[in-house]
Amino acid sequence: MSHETDWERPLEQRAKIVVERLNAWYGPVHAIHDISLTILDRRITAVIGPSGCGKSTLLRCLNRMHEVQPGARAQGEVLLNGENIYASGVDPVTVRRRVGMVFQRPNPFPTMSVFDNVAAGLKLHSLLSRTRFADTVERALRRAALWDEVKDKLKKNGAALSGGQQQRLCIARALAVEPEVLLMDEPASALDPMATLAIEDLMRELVQDTTIVIVTHNMQQAARVSDKTAFLLANAQGAGELIEYGDTPQVFTNPKDERTEAYITGRFG
Amino acid sequence: MIGQYTRRKVTNYLMLTLCGLATLAAIAILLLVVGYTAVNGLPYLNLEFITQTARPLGEPGGGMRNEIIGTLILVGLASAIGLPVGLLAGSFLAEYGDGRVGTAVRLVADVLTGVPSVVIGIFVYIIMVRSMGTFSALSGGVALAIIMLPIVARTTEEMMRLIPATYREAALALGISRWRTIISVVIPGAMTGIVTGSMLAVARITGETAPLIFTALGNRFGFSGLLNPIAAMPLQIWRYATSAYDTWHQQAWAASFLLVIFVLFINISVRWLTARRYGYTR
Amino acid sequence: MVAMTGYLLESAWPAITRLGVEFLTRVEWDPVQGIFGALPGIYGTLLTSVLAMAIAIPVSLGVAIFLAELAPNWLRGPASLLVEMLAAVPSVVIGLWGLFVMVPVIRSPIERWLGQSLGFLPFFQGPPFGVGFLAGGLILAIMALPILTAIARDSILAVPSSQREAMLALGATRWEAISQAVLPYARSGIVAAAMLGFGRALGETMAVTMVIGNGYRLTPQLFSPGNTMASKIAIEFNEASGDLYIGALVELGLVLFAITLVVNLLGRIMIRWMAPGQRVGAQQ
């Protein structure tokens, strides 16, 4: 199925994740308030907004990582392929298996080799017999555009790579279990410009067959890589609300809400 | 795949439950020890126990007055030696401890913490008891002082390092000498920490038994000078416990209960003090 | 330290010269004949300490994991406090409790049951005395537990949450995240805890002395009364007469000192050796 025909399908068929009236708290602090939006299949959705607007929280609610922190909870619906991942009886472990995540700072496992880092998820799920790990690890590293740089040091410590390589290693680690959705929380904020560009190129490659949601504070980055952009802003109580959501060119060139315009033109944030 | 997923879930719950059970077991042991000590010791812990000396075997009653006094003297002696020396060593480490000498002193203090107390007892036996020709309260105090030394030194050092450098610099900038700065600015600031460290050290040595076997020895009669053997509660608990007589066992339990109450009281008040002073919640 | 070693050496000298290297390998201990062998003491010390670690390491890891990872906030403080208070109870009190409360339970049902069901193993043969190596190992496990737990807990708490989250985000269960990301990251701290706990167990005296039964044998039977170096010294020192006898006990103390020193130093070296993982991790 090519891109073009894909665009023409009705919205509800192309929806990968539908968020319905999502609220999240850290203890007594209301972090996001009543957010609803639809994330399209095999598209890059960028979530932007000033710091403290709840964009990371929103992202972490999409694979139930939010609740990992002490005192954190969420309410509302997140439909992944039409199934509510917050329904009772849904095991977050199976959700996270399908919705992978890349964090703000590269976090390879320092006690594992490059190979074992990528294979960590495979081992958890015993998806393959051990002899076939090698193929999958290689494929994941190739998709993360890291293979050529590390193919000779697969046995070296994963934390001995450069920062940009570490982050791509983390992407490879997430890709190895072949998630349907990849969540990226400011994946390039700790990297230099060259490494950032490499990650952005990589995202355009990956989105051919996965869905990507990226949180970024860098508006140029959002404009460069994403198809859809969501703008979040904290309300008077400090809880993040969705101000505007639309196609990226429209949001950046012709925002409907004046607060969006103020933010993207750099008047605050 | 389903089977494998179920197995992972079961392993998860099983291991997490085991961790909880381990914690329960550890806490249960403490409660059992304290509980048994209370149940067995409390009935015999009365005024007589504190004010009377031991009666001959077969006669009921009697107490541990000599042992209690002996322990107080020993702990007092040890503190008189160990606290100032530990304080000085700790101040030295905090202020000048970054050089080679400091590293060496710190290493020695750490290694000293790891030396079994029985070895320290033998050491003091050799340097003091043998050369002086008699077991003595003094040698017991010295042995206990050596045990408390590294504890006091390291807490003092850590607490003094917590004092912001700006305080120090302010005092130094006024032309106050370094040692006066330490005495008038750093030590008062670190006081709570130093006091709590010293309290912990005292609690630790109050129950120490092994080194006293080689130094204080024990003494059935009352206190008779620092250069003579002296009685001590922990020693007497050991002797009574390994005896064959029920009345002595009862005395051992009562003395143990007294020790446990004292030690737990110090430890818990130290917690309370540090929690208030430093907002230490863990 | 140097003075300590020196004085110990000097005092043990009559024994060292008279008893020679055989002191370390001889099994008999007969003050009347002037024959002294340290081997059963060394064996007893190592056996009880290894036994203690075999029990205490898994238990304290469980406690540390619970306190650092699982316990709700309101429970964490009080539970930690209670576990740490166990370290404050004087050794002699633990010994008293061990002798009158734990030992009867060990004799029956524990040793009786072990003897009946696993009696084909050499460890579980022989009459159930109650006092003996098994009791000594258990009491040492109890005494090593708090320090093991405290250090392991602190090193688990020091693991950055990004490590935990990385594993969870791959679809790991909580236990998998702990066992595959958190514990490996904290391993140098855990090894340090084990070494420190082991060192503590080796030198612990009073509680062991009270429950180990004062035997002096080289036997695999865990129910058998035995002695550690420390307990042997504590029990016999005041009765010892003559330079040779006292010298032999001091030499025993010297051996104990040397072994604890080696264990503590090994611990430090192992920590340094293990450090790369920790160091690289710290950069993140």
Is the interface score ipTM higher than 0.90? no
Whether residue C281 has pLDDT greater than 70: no
Token pair, residue C224, equals 């058998």
Which residues of chain B are within 8 Å of residue A98 when distances are taken between CB atoms? none
Taking alpha carbons only, the member of B166, B118, A92, A25 closest to residue C206 is B118
Q: Which residue of B has its CA nearest to C98?
A: B33
Chain B 183-212, residues with CB within 8 Å of chain C CB atoms: 203-204, 206-210
Indicate the length of chain B as a whole number.
Answer: 282
Q: Do C83 and B23 touch (CB under 8 A)?
A: yes
Give chain C's length. 284
Per-residue pLDDT for A193 more than 70?
yes
Residues B130 and B252 in one domain: yes
Are B23 and B153 within one domain?
A: no
User: What's the pTM value of the predicted model, to 2 decimals?
Assistant: 0.88
Structural domain contains residue A171 = no
Does the structure show a pLDDT above 50 at C179? yes
Domain count, chain A: 1
Q: How far is CA B117 from CA B249, C49, C96, C260, in A?
A: 25, 16, 19, 12
CB contacts, 8 Å: C284 with chain A: 105-107, 110, 159
Q: How far apart are the first and last CA of chain B?
A: 41
For residue C236, CA distances in Å to A114, A264, B216, B248, C92 come to 58, 84, 16, 21, 17
Q: What percentage of chain B carries pLDDT values higher than 70?
A: 96
In a domain, C17, yes or no: no
CA of residue C18 relative to chain centroid, distance: 31
**Residue C33 placed within a domain:** no
Residue B52 covered by a domain: no
Report for B12-26, B38-52, C102-116: range of highest mean pLDDT: B12-26
Tens-digit pLDDT profile for residues A212-239 = 999 998 888 999 999 999 999 999 888 9
Q: Is residue B57 domain-resident?
A: no
List residues bridging with A83 in a β-sheet: A80
Model confidence at A244: pLDDT above 90: yes
Q: Is the pLDDT of residue B24 over 50?
A: yes
What does the mean pLDDT of chain A come to?
A: 89
Confidence of residue A71 (pLDDT cuts 50, 70, 90): confident
Scanning every residue of chain A, which has its alpha carbon at the shortest distance from the alpha carbon of C182?
A109
CA distance B69 to B71: 5
| Distance separating alpha carbons of residues A213 and A59, to the nearest angstrom | 8
Stretch C166-189: mean pLDDT: 93
Give residue-wise pLDDT tens across range B160-196: 888 887 887 888 888 888 788 888 888 787 888 888 8
Cα gap B182→C127, rounded to integer Å: 63
Would residue A123 count as lying in a domain? no
Task: Identify the residue among B2, B6, B7, B8 best suited for mutation to test binding to A, counting A beta carbons within 10 A and taking the highest.
Answer: B8
**Residue C12 within a domain:** no
In which domain, by residue range, is A246 found? Answer: 3-107+180-264
Residues B34 and B72 grouped into a single domain: no
Q: Answer whether residue A143 is part of any domain.
A: no
Q: Are B33 and B124 contained in the same domain?
A: no
User: What confidence category does residue A127 fall into, taking pLDDT thresholds of 50, 70 and 90?
Assistant: low
For residue B176, the enclosing domain spans: 66-278
Domain region containing C164: 39-242+257-283
Would A153 be classed as within a structural domain?
A: no
- Give the pLDDT mean for B246-252: 89
Indicate whether C268 pLDDT > 80: no
Class of residue A139 by CB neighbours under 10 A (exposed 0-12, middle 13-18, buried 19+): middle
Q: Provide the pLDDT for residue C33.
A: 84
pLDDT digits 0-9 by tens, B187-207: 787 888 888 889 989 999 999
Say yes or no: B76 and B113 in one domain. Answer: yes
| CA C153/CA C193 separation, integer angstroms | 10
Of A66, A62, A54, A65, give the one whose Cα is nearest residue A85.
Answer: A62
Number of structural domains, chain C? Answer: 1
Query: pLDDT tens for residues C98-136?
Result: 999 999 999 888 888 888 888 888 888 888 888 899 999
* The pLDDT value given to residue B281: 39
Domain contains B207? yes
Q: Is residue C7 part of a domain?
A: no
State the pLDDT confidence band at A4, using cuts at 50, 70 and 90: very low
Total domains present in chain B: 2
Predicted local confidence at residue B194, as pLDDT = 86
CA distance A94 to chain B (A): 9
- Is the residue at A151 inside a domain? no
Closest approach of A71 to chain C, Cα-based (Å) = 9
pLDDT band at C273 (very low <50, low <70, confident <90, very high): low
Q: Is residue C16 part of a domain?
A: no
B246 with B119, same domain: the answer is: yes
Same domain, B73 and B204: yes
Q: Strand ranges (DSSP E) for chain C? A: 29-30, 35-36
- Range in A193-197, B15-19, B58-62, C215-219 the model is least confident about: B58-62
Q: Computed over its alpha carbons, how large is the radius of gyration of chain C?
A: 21
Q: Is B88 a member of any domain?
A: yes
C124: DSSP letter: G
Query: Is there a contact between B267 and B258 (Cβ–Cβ < 8 Å)?
Result: no
Is A38 domain-assigned?
Answer: yes
Shared domain check, B108 and B11: no
Give the mean model confidence (pLDDT) for residues C65-73.
92
Q: Is B5's CB within 8 Å of A126's CB?
A: no
Q: What is the CATH number of the domain that holds A37?
A: 3.40.50.300
Arithmetic mean of pLDDT, B26-44: 94
pLDDT band at C198 (very low <50, low <70, confident <90, very high): very high
In this predicted structure, the answer to whether residue C30 has a pLDDT above a threshold of 50 is yes
Whether residue A91 and residue B9 make contact (CB cut-off 8 A), yes or no, is yes
Token readout for A120 is 């960590």
Q: Does the residue A208 lie in any domain? A: yes
Write the CATH number for C269.
Answer: 1.10.3720.10
Per the CB < 8 A criterion, the answer to whether A263 and A232 are in contact is no
